[in-house]
Structure 1
Amino acid sequence: MVIRLSERWPEVSSDRLLSECVPPPRFAEARFATYRPNPAEVSQSEALAVLVDRAKILAQPRQTPTLWSKLRGRTPDLGKPGIYLDGAFGVGKTHLLASLWHESAGPKMYCTFVELTNLVGALGLRQAVEALSSYRLICIDEFELDDPGDTMLISRLLAQLVAAGVQLAATSNTLPDKLGEGRFQALDFLREIQALAANFDVRRIDGPDYRHRGLPVAPDPWTDDQVEQTAAERPATSCDHFVDLHRHLAELHPSRYGALLDGVAAVGITDLRPLDDENVALRMVVLADRMYDRDLPLLASGVPLDQLFSAAMLKGGYRKKYLRALSRLIALARTS
C-alpha cells in the first residue's frame, strides 16, 4: 500500500522533541577525521583546526571553575561562549558541527534553528531554560532569524544559557550581525541581534558546494506514471500530488514534519510546480531539511527541481534558504 503523507496527522510531544535533539542519521558517523577540507580553500582547514582544539576542551566534563583553579590557570579557556561557522551551503559546516557534538562530553544537544524555536514554543521559555541550563554544549545548525518574535525569543534563551555556562556552536549562511536582513526590519531589533553576535567567535568557511562539484544543476524529472509505479513497487515509499502535499503541510506545525516521515524510506512527489507563494515555499524548505536529515531519496515529476522557486524568490530575503533547499533536494533526487 502506497504511503500518502497528505493523509498523515502525526502528534509530537515535547519529550520527543527533546530526545530527538541529536545529529540526524546522515551525520551520525560524522567525525573530524572524516572531514575532507578542500585544498584550495584554506579557511576549511583553519576551521577544522579550531574546532578540534575546542572539542579537546569540551570532551572534559563540565566543571564550575573555582577561584584557585582560575589563579593557577587550570580552567580551560574557550574564549567566547560560542563558535559560529559562516559560509555558503555545501562547504561542510554541518559535518564539522556534528563532529564537534560527537566528540564533546554530555549532556549535549544538537538541533536546527527551526527545531530549537519549536522546542521553546512547546516547552515555554522558562521551562526550556531550566531543561537546557545543565547542558555542556548546544549545537544549532542553520541559524536564522525569520521574524522579530524569533529574535526576541532566541536572544533571551541564549543569554540565559550562556550565563549558566552553556557552550554554543552554530552554523549559518549569514553573519550573526546580519541576521534578519531582508526578512524583517532588522534595524528595529539591532540591539538583540548585536547581543547574539557578541556571544560568538565567527569563523568563515569558503568553497563551492561539494554536492555539485562537476555535476549538472538538476536531474531530469520523472513522469507521473514513473513516480506512482515506483512508489507502488518500492517498500515504504510515499507518493503525493504536489498540491495535496503542500496544502497538507499548511495544516501541520513544522515541528511535526519530521514525524510525518516516520517509517518512510523514499519520498515520491508528482506534478511538481513552480512556487510563487512565500509561505508555501518556506514550508517546503522545512520538509526538504527533514528529508535530507533522514537521507530519503526523492522521486519527483513535473518541473525540474531547479525551477521550484521563482526567480524573484531566489533574489529575495530568503534566497539562502531556498538555495540550500535546492542543493539538498537535488542531492536527494540523484540518489533515487
Structure 2
Amino acid sequence: MSSSTAAPGHSPITTAGPLSLCAREPHVPADRLVAEMVPPPRFDAVRFETYMPDPNQPSQSEAVSVLSAFAGGLGGAHASGAGKRRWFSKKPAAPVGPRGVYLDGGYGVGKTHLLASLWHATPAAPEHKAFGTFVELTNLVGALGFQQTVKTLGNHRLLCIDEFELDDPGDTVLVSTLLGKLVEAGVALAATSNTLPGKLGEGRFAAADFLREIQGLSAHFRPLRIDGEDYRHRGLPEAPAPFTDEQVAKAAYATPRATLDDFPALLEHLARVHPSRYGALTEDIAAVCLTDVRAVPDQSTALRLVVLADRLYDREIPVLASGLPFDRLFSEEMLKGGYRKKYFRAISRLTALARDAKGLVSH
C-alpha cells in the first residue's frame, strides 16, 4: 500500500503531515550513551570481506590484512587479570606488537568501514567492545565523569574511536589521559582522525600529529596509511541538482516518517541542541527534506552541520533539498581553512545522501 493510500475506515497517512527536526529536543541518559557505543546502522553489516580495495591503491589491501591480524590477536583472555598482565607487564614473556592502530587517510577511503569491521571481527561480546566518535566519547566523560568512564570502559577488550578531533586541544588532552588509563587496564585501541588546523592535505602529516597529540601513547599505536580517492564518487555523477520547494514539500508529505524543515531555521535549532544528541535528533526518521538551502553563515554553524551530516550518513537517511547544491554550502575561505577536511567530508556525505533521495521525488 502506498503512503498516499488509506485503508478502509482510516485517513491517509499523509494527512498527518511530515515531522520536523526543529520540533525535536532530545535528551539522552548516560546509560543509553554507553549502550549505543556500537557501529552505527550504516556499518551494521560491514566486514573486512565487504571492503572493496581500489586495485590502484595497494595500501588498502594491506590495511585489511593488518587489521584482520590485529583483530585475531585480541582473542583469548579478557583484557583484565592474567590477560592484562601478559599484554602490559613491564617484562612481558614474549615481545608483543603495538596494542593500537591508527588509520591515516583522506575522507572517503573507507576508514570507518575498516574500523567498524575491526569491531565486528574482534572475538568479544558486544558489551566488551565499544565504538564511537570522538564527540560521543567526550560526551560520555561529561555524562559519567572521568573515573566512572575509566571504570566503565576499562573492562572492554577494544575501544574504537572514529574521527579523533585533533583540532580541539582541550578535549584531545582529556581523551589522551583517558586512553592512557584504558591502556593501563588492558584495553586495545583503534582510531581514525582529522588533520590538525593548518595542515592543508592529509599527506603524511596526520599520523605524526595524532601520535604527538596523544602524547605518551604513541608506542601503543601502529600508524596505518590508507591511500585513495573518495569511494563515494568513484565513477559516479556529480551531486543531483536541488529540487524546487514544491517538489521537496510534496515528497515530505508523501513519505512516512519524513521531516520537513526550512534550512536556516534548522541551523538555528542545531545551536540549541548539543552535537552529542544529533543522533537522537534523527532517530526513527526515514528522510530529511530541506527547503531554502543556503551557504552557512559562520564557522560555528558549519561545524554543527558537519556533525549532523555525519549522523545522517551513519543512519543512511536520504536528504532531499531545494536551494543551493551541497557543494556550495561552505565558503571558499572555509574550504581553505583549518577545518577544510571536515567540510569536504560533509559535502561528500550529503552528496551521497542527496543521490539516495532522488527516488522520493520520482515516486
- Name the TM-score, length of structure 2 as normaliser: 0.84
The equivalent of 2:111 in structure 1 is 93
The reply on whether 1:286 has 2:302 as its aligned counterpart is no
Q: Which runs of 5+ in 1 are unaligned?
A: 184-188
- Name the TM-score, length of structure 1 as normaliser: 0.91
How many Å separate the matches in 1 of 2:191 and 2:343?
19
User: What's the Cα RMSD here?
Assistant: 2.3
Contact 1:182 1:318 in 2 (8 A): no
The reply on whether 1:210 has 2:228 as its aligned counterpart is no
Contact 2:167 2:194 in 1 (8 A): no
The equivalent of 1:25 in structure 2 is 41
Per-residue CA deviations over 1:22-46 (Å, capped at 9, x if unaligned) read: 0011110111111111111010011
The equivalent of 2:278 in structure 1 is 257
**Identity %, equivalent residues:** 59
Contact 1:108 1:138 in 2 (8 A): yes
Aligned residue type for 1:144: E
Q: Secondary structure at the match of 2:222?
A: strand
Q: Secondary structure at the match of 1:43?
A: helix
Contact 1:91 1:207 in 2 (8 A): yes
Choose from 269, 288, 291 the match for 1:248: 269
How many Å separate the matches in 2 of 1:40 and 1:190?
28
Aligned residue type for 2:105: G
Per-residue CA deviations over 1:272-326 (Å, capped at 9, x if unaligned) read: 1012400100000010011011000000111010001111111111110111111
Q: For residues 229-244 of structure 1, what are the structure 2 equivalents within 5 Å?
A: 229-244=250-265
How many Å separate the matches in 1 of 2:331 and 2:304?
15
Aligned residues: 324
Choose from 111, 114, 132 the match for 1:111: 132
The equivalent of 1:54 in structure 2 is 70
Q: For residues 167-206 of structure 1, what are the structure 2 equivalents within 5 Å?
A: 167-174=188-195, 179=196, 192-206=213-227
The reply on whether 1:302 has 2:323 as its aligned counterpart is yes
The equivalent of 1:157 in structure 2 is 178
Residues 127 and 219 from structure 1, CA distance in 2 versus in 1: closer, same or farther, beyond 3 angstroms? Answer: same
The equivalent of 1:186 in structure 2 is none
Choose from 35, 45, 53 the match for 2:51: 35
Residue 117 of structure 1: CA displacement? 1.2
Residues 14 and 76 from structure 1, CA distance in 2 versus in 1: closer, same or farther, beyond 3 angstroms? Answer: farther
How many Å separate the matches in 2 of 1:262 and 1:149?
30
Contact 1:57 1:76 in 2 (8 A): no
Residue 217 of structure 1: CA displacement? 3.3
How many Å separate the matches in 2 of 1:48 and 1:191?
25
Contact 2:53 2:60 in 1 (8 A): yes
Out of 308-317 and 51-60, give the one that drifted further.
51-60
The reply on whether 1:148 has 2:164 as its aligned counterpart is no
Residue 76 of structure 1: CA displacement? 8.6
Residues 111 and 76 from structure 1, CA distance in 2 versus in 1: closer, same or farther, beyond 3 angstroms? Answer: farther
Q: Secondary structure at the match of 2:259?
A: strand
How many Å separate the matches in 2 of 1:170 and 1:284?
23
Per-residue CA deviations over 1:57-99 (Å, capped at 9, x if unaligned) read: 12334252467xx9xx98793x122100010111111111111
